[in-house]
Amino acid sequence: MNLAYISHHDCEDHKMGAHHVEVPERLHAISDRMIASGMEMLVTHYDAPKATREQLLRAHDAEYVDMIFEAAPKATDVLTWVDGDTAMCSGTLGAALRSAGAATLGVDLVMSDKHHAAFCAVRPPGHHAERHAAMGFCFFNNVAVGALHAIDTYGLERVAIIDFDVHHGNGTEDIVAGDERILFCSSFQHPFYPGTGADCKAPNVINTPLPARTDGEAFRAAVERDWLPRLEAFAPQLVMISAGFDGHAEDDMAHFNLREPDYAWITKQLHELAVRHAEERVVSCLEGGYSLSALGRSVSTHIDELIGHG
């Protein structure tokens, strides 16, 4: 069974200005690498649907959802800033709805056994979006929307969300902290943007702050120490991934020194966890990654491990 690859051309219509690093070319870099590496032939493509209001309200307050809809500009030459680094253009709302909808479709596909795993090649990313606030290039929390969809629609009792973006998944933590149905693991450079994650006391949250210049050896050791025993004991029925690749040594958005073999390693650990406990069901959502070449290579490696070639 091959992997579901979920995206939509609307995700290319979200643009935050000429000098912003979160650009449509990120998706082009991934698709180009998929073709060049031969991975394109090993996936089935799906168009992401738009998330419904009901799906969004599982993760976000109604007032916040209304605010995002109302803030979306209609004119093509207008940018509306909802946070210091997060802007909306006329194409943003559609892209954000497709990004959240991709996560719910991914859940539907793996829960119906049409695919064992799904990768959501979407933007804007989601893991900084809190229950009532946009920030860090994020509007709706895609992975949280997907996880809560899995719980409410399919009656799952245990969903793991693993976030290996170089920035703390503060939005996901804000939404799921205290929810015993979800185990949330997040590794990140600290101290660094957004400055959170070092002091959460929720028993279902495992934060792993790591210093600048963390390399693959240190990253793997931290995952083996902090995450793997807890994940094994939790025995998730579904594994969801916030897949951020901005910790790559070539990415100047942060100061980690990870490379493709490190992303292959962590993906393999999570895939094997899913094989043992979740009938191999994995849904991965793209988060960060801004060096285009490194992003394309890393995502291709990630998908290869999800397929099970590693």
pLDDT digits (tens, 9 = 90+) for 25-83: 999 999 999 999 999 999 999 999 999 999 999 999 999 999 999 999 999 999 999 99
Alpha carbon of 124 to those of 34, 111, 224, 242, 298: distances in Å?
A: 20, 25, 30, 13, 18
- Residue 17 sits in a domain of what CATH number? 3.40.800.20
For residue 10, give the H/E element and its range. Answer: none
Confidence of residue 186 (pLDDT cuts 50, 70, 90): very high
Q: Which domain holds residue 243?
A: 3-307
Q: Are 180 and 171 in contact (CB under 8 A)?
A: no
**What confidence category does residue 203 fall into, taking pLDDT thresholds of 50, 70 and 90?**
very high
Q: Read off the pTM.
A: 0.98
pLDDT at 176 over 80: yes
pLDDT of residue 310: 53
Average pLDDT score over residue span 190-212: 97
User: Cα-Cα-Cα-Cα dihedral of 178, 62, 139, 95, to 10°?
Assistant: 130
More confident residue, 24 or 18: 24
Who contacts 270 (Cβ-Cβ below 8 Å, separation ≥6)?
162, 239, 241, 282
Would the pLDDT of 309 be above 80? no
Catalytic pick among 128, 149, 168, 248? 128
What are 250-286's pLDDT values in tens digits? 999 999 999 999 999 999 999 999 999 999 999 999 9
In this prediction, residue 1 carries a pLDDT of 64
Q: What is the mean pLDDT of residues 139-161?
A: 99
When pLDDT is cut at 50, 70 and 90, the band that residue 111 belongs to is: very high
Owner of token pair 């999570």: 270
- Residue-averaged pLDDT of the chain: 97
Active site residue 128: yes
The proportion of the chain whose per-residue pLDDT surpasses 70, expressed as a percent, equals 99
Report residue 87's pLDDT band, with 50, 70 and 90 as the boundaries: very high
**pLDDT for the residue numbered 98:** 99
Structure letter (DSSP) for residue 172: H
Contact indicator for 292, 25 with CB cutoff of 8 Å? yes
Q: What is the pLDDT of residue 226?
A: 98
Percent of the chain clearing pLDDT 90 (strictly above) = 98
Task: Tally the domains of the chain.
Answer: 1
